[in-house]
Structure formats: structure tokens, C-alpha cells
Structure 1
Amino acid sequence: MADRVAGVPGRLMALPGTLLPPTIFAPVALAADWAWQPLDWLAGPGAGDLEIAADEIVTRWPARELGHRGPGHRVLVGHSAGGVVALQVAAALGARLDGLVLVDTGASAVDHGDPDLPQRLLAQWGEAFIDAFLLRCVGREALDRHGDALRRYTLATGPERAHRAMTSLRGLDLTPRLGEIRCPTLIVHGQQDPARSLRHARALASGIADARLETLDAGHTPMLERPDALAACLDDFLSELG
């Protein structure tokens, strides 16, 4: 890994996927001069609407409520639907954002691995649906380790906000806006992701200037499945921000 310049700390504002708690980023260890600042966008204004969530972050950036205090880099990390929010924020902020990390997400829902998920969520909401959803999101090993916390968050959030987020995502195509992103960008994709294919990641990499694409031996949520491998990717990327 590259040597990091000491004395230039930063925060990573982290946006999780739909129905996943902000704590999913905690297993990924960061160097001492960096800190996670997770944001539960699904619980915020817009009740799950991805465009409203993005507008709220842009409006308040870099307000203290969002966790940025004092000097340091401001990096945005978005996973899955949180990545769709992050893409909109990055396009709007331009050079005001120091870095962008996109994890298992895409600019549009074309060829999404589960196109009927919003309808199924409303029709089947309950413990069986939640367990199947979480298993698809994080895989068996991670679900065995973190399942209680994941289920508590999912049940507390409820189906209405999740449904709005899922339908909002499927109505967006951010491909034309990728060229508006001006900051260094890292794209991370799990090779066994059942929801987003490598095609989505490659489209992001080709649409965002100088973006770097890294693939991991993981599914949809490498923060819980391969935290050490993701930490290594982040360390290299963050060290190059100067």
C-alpha cells in the first residue's frame, strides 16, 4: 500500500443500501487518520426517495450534522441504493467532493438482478421475506454473524420507506450525469453479486473520468463479507488523495 501523508485526516460519509443499517461499514478498518461517518439516508427526508435524499445531502454539505468538522478530506461512499444517492451528490458537488467510492451499485436499474423486488416486498413483507432479502444481500456467513442487528434495523425501518427507495431507484438513469463527476473515484464490485452485475460496475468506470475499478471475491455487500479486502482497496485509494 502507498504511504499516506500524515496529518491530513478525513471522514468517509457512508450511505448503505436499502434496508441495511449504517453500521455495515464498521467492520472495515480504516487507517488512524480516517473515520467512518455513516448516514442513515433511508430514515431522513424523502422517506426513501433517492433524489430527495441526494438533494438534502447537497443542500447541507458540509454541514456539521453530516459529520464533517474541521480540516480534512471529504469522501463519499455509497453502497447499492446508497451508491445511487452518492452518484447524484457527486455529480452536483463537483470539485467540492474530494473522493467517491461506489460499492456494488450502478447508474441505472437496467439488467438489475431482481426487477420485481418492490412488488414482492409489499406482498410478502414478514420474517421469511426479510431473511431471504438479507441472505441475498450479505450471504450466509455474514448473515450468521450479523443477522440479529440486520433484522432489527430492517424491521424497525418497515416496508414503506424501503418500497419507495426501490421504486425510486428503478425510475432513475444517471448515465448522462456520470461525466459531471470530477473527483477521484473508486468502484468496488463483488464478483458473486446477485443483484448488480459486473456490467454495471464497468459502465460506471467507463462513464466517470479516470475511475478505478476493483473486483473482490464477494457478493453484494463486501463490507460484511470481505472487510479486510475492502479495507485494502480503500487504503490504497485514500492514500493517493494527498
Structure 2
Amino acid sequence: MPGSLMALPGTLLSPTIFDPVLLGNGWRWQPLDWLVGPGNGDLEIAAGEIVARWPARELGHRVLGHRVLDRRVLVGHSAGGVVALQVAAQLGAGLDGLILIDTGASAAHHGDPDLPQRLLAQWGEAFIETFLLRCIGEEPLARHGDALRRYALSAGPQRAYRAMTSLRRLDLTGRLGDIRCPTLVVHGERDPARSLLHARALTSGIAGARLEILDAGHTPMLQSPEALAACLDDFLASLD
């Protein structure tokens, strides 16, 4: 039975980043814009809001305004993955599947520890350009840059600062054992923000999780959408 991929993008990245990944067998994307939702960027509040509104296993319910089909798989990219980990740990077997893309259970050895402070000090078009370039790379930025820049500017520095600081205070390593649904971990081997160690820690901490490594950077949805789609199709087929 097909269903919805409830998708959480990384900080300052538009929910449209999932659009290039074409899903098969009746599955469809339903991105959730957690950054501008309740909590205004706080990852813990965003997770709590999603859990509070997670529907029972019936057709036609809504999560954050989106109609949800019967089968629900949660997808989290980067900081959105940290939100997804919290949701999955709380829902346990109430979740049909979990897909984690270039994320990790903690901020240890993750990126630039001074990034939140630099964001506040340097916020503007130049900062956003540098941030997006690191996140998605040159070619995707050339294709999708206008929409991504508009989204980042509209989200604003305060939400992004809350996201970055709340991410850095969270360590979900001890909660990975609470995740009891089929889990796929995807990691771009050229990711400049998260290392493969983060991905391996997820697969070792979540029972039965499997790891797929792609020829991509931090955002495979825009850098290798076809390869990512193949991974997702294979994983989703295994849920039947």
C-alpha cells in the first residue's frame, strides 16, 4: 500500500528540495516546514508538535495541515533528521518507516561550532550564498538557487539561530534504541558537514537500520536525485 513520505528539510532549506526525487508505486512527498512552524526553529518544540498531531492509523487525518494517507514514513534531512529522530523515538512502532539523510544523533564533530554566532553577525545575502553553496554545491545552486535564497531570507536569522543552537545542545544517542520501525540511513560520501561516522553511529544504534552511501554531498535530493530515488524505492518496497 502506498502512502506519504513526511519530509523534514535541513535548516534554511526550502521543503521543495525533495521535489527532484521522483517516487514510484504511488508514494508521494508531503514536506513539513518545521523551521517556520511552531517553535520557530527549535528542534525539540518542532518534534513535540509533530508527535502531538500525529494521526491514528486511519485515512484522512492531517499533520501540520497536510492530508496523510494510511502508510506514513518519516524522512529527515540534516537538522530535519534530528527532528525526525526525536519523533521516531517517541512514536516507536507507531511509525511505518524512517529515512535519515545526511544527519546524526549528536552535534559532536559536526561542522563549525561558531556557525550560530556567525549567522547573527553576518546575516545577509552573502552569508546565505556561502551557506547554500556548502549545503548543496555549485550545480544545484545554479539550478535551484533563486527559490532557495528567497526561502532562506524569508525564514530569517532568528529561526535559523534557534535551529542551530538547539541542534548543538541535543544528543540523541541514548534514544536510538527507542526507534522500532524499519530505518534507512542515507549518506553522501562527499558531505562536508556530516561525516560517515555520524551515519554509521545511526545504523549501529537503531536496530535493523541499513546504510546506503551515495556519490553526493550534504543534500543528495538535489545532487543525486535519481540515485536517491532508487534507494528510496527499494526501501519502500521492503515495507510491503
Structure-2-length-normalised TM-score = 0.96
Give deviations 1:155-212, integer Å, cap 9, x for gaps. 0011000000000000000000000000000000000101000000000000000100
Work out whether residues 27 and 224 of structure 1, in 8 Å CA contact, stay in contact via their aligned partners in 2. yes
1:15 aligned onto 2:13: no
Count of residue pairs the alignment pairs up: 234
Q: The residue matched to 2:73 in structure 1 has which SS?
A: strand
Q: 1:55-70 residue pairs with structure 2 within 5 A?
A: 55-62=48-55, 63-66=61-64, 67-70=66-69
Q: Distance in 2 between matches of 1:235 and 1:68?
A: 22
Q: Distance in 2 between matches of 1:9 and 1:210?
A: 22
Residue identity opposite 2:178 in structure 1: E
Superposed displacement of residue 113, structure 1: 1.9
Work out whether residues 192 and 218 of structure 2, in 8 Å CA contact, stay in contact via their aligned partners in 1. yes
Q: The residue matched to 1:46 in structure 2 has which SS?
A: coil
Partner of residue 210, structure 2:
212
Give deviations 1:197-233, integer Å, cap 9, x for gaps. 0000000000000100000010000000000000000
Q: The residue matched to 2:200 in structure 1 has which SS?
A: helix
Give deviations 1:35-71, integer Å, cap 9, x for gaps. 0000000011111100000000000002414434453
Q: Distance in 2 between matches of 1:65 and 1:176?
A: 27
Q: 1:192-231 residue pairs with structure 2 within 5 A?
A: 192-231=190-229
* Alignment counterpart, residue 27 of structure 2, candidates 28, 34, 41: 34
Q: Which runs of 4+ in 1 moved over 4 A?
A: none
Q: The residue matched to 1:219 in structure 2 has which SS?
A: coil
The unaligned stretches of length 5 or more in structure 2 are 56-60
Partner of residue 39, structure 2:
46
Work out whether residues 74 and 99 of structure 1, in 8 Å CA contact, stay in contact via their aligned partners in 2. yes
Give deviations 1:77-123, integer Å, cap 9, x for gaps. 00000000000000000111000000000000000022211011001
Partner of residue 176, structure 2:
178
Residue identity opposite 1:160 in structure 2: Q
Q: Distance in 2 between matches of 1:46 and 1:221?
A: 24
1:88 aligned onto 2:86: yes
- With 83-92 and 110-119 compared, the bigger mean Cα shift is at 110-119
Residue identity opposite 1:16 in structure 2: P
Q: 1:142-157 residue pairs with structure 2 within 5 A?
A: 142-157=140-155
Identify if the C-alpha distance between structure 1 residues 201 and 148 changes in structure 2 by more than 3 Å, giving closer, same or farther.
same
Q: Distance in 2 between matches of 1:114 and 1:201?
A: 18
Q: Distance in 1 between matches of 2:63 and 2:88?
A: 18
Q: Distance in 2 between matches of 1:198 and 1:132?
A: 23
Superposed displacement of residue 153, structure 1: 0.1
Q: Distance in 2 between matches of 1:56 and 1:119?
A: 27
Q: Distance in 2 between matches of 1:61 and 1:95?
A: 13
The unaligned stretches of length 5 or more in structure 1 are 1-7
Residue identity opposite 1:55 in structure 2: G
